[in-house]
Structure 1
């Protein structure tokens, strides 16, 4: 049951975070809830003593009643101070776990799953809503205790009145069914919610708005967003309407029981079997039961939603767990490559697809050499790079690093030896120092390392273009920063990649696509000369992906991919002499430049 799952999860998490604070909140909350029926009992006795003109007991009961009511308010207030801070800490802890679930696995296969994306979106949207879930657990526990005490008092007056708390069962059952209906509606709209959020982002980001305006697609995008929102609201409205109808049935059953209890006491009082104080007591308790039921229904809805979130977190954990056959790497990678990296009959299909992106690739990257990957878009070049970086494991075959399977290497240790600039690099809208220094977080404050990376990437002009230099902000997403051009952003990304000093594996995926051919050639030539020491001492390997053959020909080895298969492999001179696809593409590009 979702309610019990949420309660167990939140209480156990609270115990791990701050046992004393949780215990204090529970005691105070329960004390406040116990005071309420005791105040009703004192009020009933007060009515009898007042009518009998017993002044002393009347005054004493008035003080007791007031003290109990004040205790109820004060205890609830002080409990709030404890559980509110504890709940915020819980939410922070869970958000941290959510980040770890996304980033913790050694690969990124789970991020390609639409089911993972749906669950992640629903968890992000409903991560307990601050202190409400823990508050609901404590309050519902207090309500249960309060209901037990209320039932005992009512039974003491008349066994028939024991049916009043039982009349609370149908509203709880129907409320649970109503919440299940609502949760199904949320799950059915998860994909549309993600689509709606994406369309809103497209319609509000400067990078996309300018292109949408030019092509005249802004109205079409808004139309699609409105359609997605209409689907969401219609399905959610139907779920809420069905849930409201179910809750109404449960409330109607309770209303009948409530009216019956009042009728029984009035009839008993008319027959002389009950006092006015008993009537006041029953009416007060009946009102309390009504409030308890209304509160319990709201709390159950919160806890059922929280329980569903806990279930989704468990689902995310399962999806983020290493897939079957993937061994947790524990072997420390070599400090220096003695032989290099070898692909042995490597094939790869993206999760959820049977179409191979790489098919039976056999390739050797010798230590201390530079490899250039060539091929048309979709040939599998970027996928091969992702496999090299350990972001995916081959569907079949294996990748050996100095004879050790890459899957056996410690993923964190391997990533620490790799520097990459991906084709779809991210534009971090931080200070320029952070945007570059993130390439090696441990050296973020090292001005000499920053200066070296900036020099290698020829990024000095970008530094000069940003007001405040390295301390200035880039982008306008989170402040009044400098708006960089595509080429400038790529230069920042390249400098970030080059922050890692002497990496064992350097991957440059279209590192200067926004630059002209001469600038890219000069950039690679400059890096190649400065990296020769690392290649000589550590056997460092550089992998370059570029469509410009003037740069590609500088590599020690050139590999041509087509349709995910290795088509050609060799030096520039050997491939030109062979007269295959590489030679044809090289001559075509050379003629175009001439």
Structure 2
């Protein structure tokens, strides 16, 4: 919490130093107003009772000015808090957007706890800062508290203990704030699941199945249960807050009543002036108001600082991921990529890959074969540097992959996936983002991947916006989108590693043949230019059989390696799968 608050202060000092200083000064000034109001009322009452205009008039002026400043000053401080929070929060949002967009790996996407932390701060920089800046209200209360203790002590030393009556409330509120934070984290997965199902209702592909199978009601019930579970968790936490607030209010009321009775006793015995009773009454009322302000500020600032904590975690994750390695990525592969005793697991689950020992020779075309869930996609992520092995290591020409900066390794890889992205960009840009350094030099890539034919069918060619996210875009068929994605993978001309993960699943037979023909040509070019390795993931053995090396995976282990001829001669798992598929096409 201290580190989070320090970060908020540093951000304010960096982006709005003058406005932040004014906020602090105004906050301190408004903290003095309640004290001077109480003193003014005491002076005014003592002057009336003793018929002393010398006390009445200063008391009246002091009371009026202090009251006006309390109302106007608080409003000015609130406006200043909003200005500082919005301005600094805008800068924070830019930082968050940059961190989310440039995280080198994808491990956080597969980790629910990490995904929760990203979602808690993504796009919420302004809100986080506005809430965090509420902490100045606590400072204002502390300044007021010092003066309140001094004024009460002048009446009687025991009365100076009155502000301590607020401690039980503060402790309970702080505990309640932690309970709320824990409840938000525990209910986040339910909220995310319910939101995901809502998106499914509105996604064209899933909407067809839901309507056709009339299963919308079933999913709706799951979403309802998830949402209600999340609401119930938050309601339990809110009830704890309510009970804590009630207990604290009762303790404070009893203490203020006792202090008032004691002050009245002192006045009746002439140990204090009658105005002292009004002073104690006023400070008691202010104590309740200050407690209410502090409670609200604690609740809001705790939420804001919790979000700032998620931002600090995100920044640390980015630094840790980006700072690893310093060795230059080789210009050309000579040996290849080797995996030694590699193990990978998601979180605390059973290993997805285990005991992987494999050499991908430089310039080779390598096919990964196996049933769904065998670990092929995870192996691809490891090779691309998207995730790190749980144990074991991966080397590139003998240099550990971890020794390279991730962004430099990514710049020398390219990939086409079955679950490709559909960016709502101009059609030419959707291809060009495969290599930003050549964003407009897309002609060859568009021809190789088939995007050129898609451009010719669009109203404005490559300058047509794709998708319907922005309202002025054009929808594409699944096959057209896949041609765009395939072309994107051709943008890099000399990759050290090219991954083709079922890149033609949505294409017709003729388009698939053309794309694979282009990939074979590209693989030969990459082999000559950089010793580049092409990794092919496919269930279609007519494509796989031409690979230099075929790797067969099952249940996270490599069970066979070799060429098509060698594996067929062994009559093992590969031969069994090949003959099953061959029989299906007879």
Normalised by the size of structure 2, how large is the TM-score? Answer: 0.87
Could you say what the CA RMSD is over the residues aligned between the two structures, in angstroms? Answer: 3.5
Provide the residue aligned with 2:483 in structure 1. 491
CA contact (8 A) 1:330 1:409 kept: yes
Tell me, yes or no, if structure 1 residue 86 matches structure 2 residue 84. yes
User: In structure 2, what is the Cα distance between the partners aligned to 1:417 and 1:263?
Assistant: 80
CA offset digits 1:291-312 (Å, max 9, x no partner) = 1111112222223434544555
1:333, CA displacement in angstroms? 0.8
User: In structure 2, what is the Cα distance between the partners aligned to 1:508 and 1:519?
Assistant: 15
Provide the residue aligned with 1:470 in structure 2. 462
Provide the residue aligned with 2:361 in structure 1. 365
Aligned ranges for residues 326-405 of structure 1 at < 5 Å? 328-367=324-363, 369-405=364-400
CA contact (8 A) 1:350 1:357 kept: no
1:417, CA displacement in angstroms? 0.4
1:490, CA displacement in angstroms? 1.5
User: In structure 1, what is the Cα distance between the partners aligned to 2:571 and 2:9?
Assistant: 71
Alpha-carbon distance change, 274 to 576 in structure 1, aligned in 2, over 3 angstroms: closer
Which SS does the other structure have where 2:514 is aligned? helix
CA offset digits 1:218-274 (Å, max 9, x no partner) = 111111122122222223222222221122111111111222333344444555555
Match of 1:161 among 151, 159, 162: 159
1:418, CA displacement in angstroms? 0.5
Provide the residue aligned with 1:522 in structure 2. 514
CA contact (8 A) 2:121 2:310 kept: yes
Provide the residue aligned with 1:424 in structure 2. 419
Match of 2:261 among 263, 283, 294: 263
1:492, CA displacement in angstroms? 1.8
User: In structure 2, what is the Cα distance between the partners aligned to 1:267 and 1:567?
Assistant: 91
CA contact (8 A) 2:111 2:346 kept: no
User: In structure 1, what is the Cα distance between the partners aligned to 2:394 and 2:36?
Assistant: 73
Tell me, yes or no, if structure 1 residue 451 matches structure 2 residue 462. no
CA offset digits 1:451-497 (Å, max 9, x no partner) = 33222211133334444443433223342422222212222222222
Alpha-carbon distance change, 379 to 158 in structure 1, aligned in 2, over 3 angstroms: closer
CA offset digits 1:171-215 (Å, max 9, x no partner) = 212222333343443344333233223233323333322222222
Provide the residue aligned with 1:544 in structure 2. 536
CA contact (8 A) 1:128 1:306 kept: no
User: In structure 1, what is the Cα distance between the partners aligned to 2:175 and 2:370?
Assistant: 57
Tell me, yes or no, if structure 1 residue 482 matches structure 2 residue 447. no
Provide the residue aligned with 2:249 in structure 1. 251
Provide the residue aligned with 1:225 in structure 2. 223
User: In structure 2, what is the Cα distance between the partners aligned to 1:347 and 1:43?
Assistant: 75
1:416, CA displacement in angstroms? 0.5
CA contact (8 A) 1:179 1:301 kept: yes
Provide the residue aligned with 1:504 in structure 2. 496
Which SS does the other structure have where 1:129 is aligned? helix
1:395, CA displacement in angstroms? 4.3
User: In structure 1, what is the Cα distance between the partners aligned to 2:175 and 2:551?
Assistant: 61
User: In structure 1, what is the Cα distance between the partners aligned to 2:522 and 2:241?
Assistant: 68
CA offset digits 1:396-430 (Å, max 9, x no partner) = 54333222222222221111100111232222233
CA contact (8 A) 1:110 1:319 kept: no
User: In structure 1, what is the Cα distance between the partners aligned to 2:478 and 2:396?
Assistant: 35
Which SS does the other structure have where 2:435 is aligned? helix
1:518, CA displacement in angstroms? 3.0
Alpha-carbon distance change, 273 to 361 in structure 1, aligned in 2, over 3 angstroms: closer
Which SS does the other structure have where 1:544 is aligned? strand
CA contact (8 A) 2:39 2:59 kept: no
User: In structure 1, what is the Cα distance between the partners aligned to 2:245 and 2:487?
Assistant: 60
CA contact (8 A) 2:130 2:304 kept: no
Aligned residues: 586
CA contact (8 A) 1:101 1:317 kept: yes
User: In structure 1, what is the Cα distance between the partners aligned to 2:550 and 2:175?
Assistant: 63
User: In structure 1, what is the Cα distance between the partners aligned to 2:435 and 2:234?
Assistant: 46
CA offset digits 1:115-168 (Å, max 9, x no partner) = 333444555698783444333211110111012112212222333432332222
User: In structure 2, what is the Cα distance between the partners aligned to 1:545 and 1:568?
Assistant: 15
Structure 1's unaligned 5+ residue stretches are none
Structure 2's unaligned 5+ residue stretches are none
CA contact (8 A) 2:354 2:556 kept: yes
User: In structure 2, what is the Cα distance between the partners aligned to 1:73 and 1:396?
Assistant: 63
Alpha-carbon distance change, 531 to 46 in structure 1, aligned in 2, over 3 angstroms: same
User: In structure 2, what is the Cα distance between the partners aligned to 1:410 and 1:312?
Assistant: 24
Alpha-carbon distance change, 137 to 349 in structure 1, aligned in 2, over 3 angstroms: closer
Residue range with higher mean Cα deviation, 534-543 or 211-220: 534-543
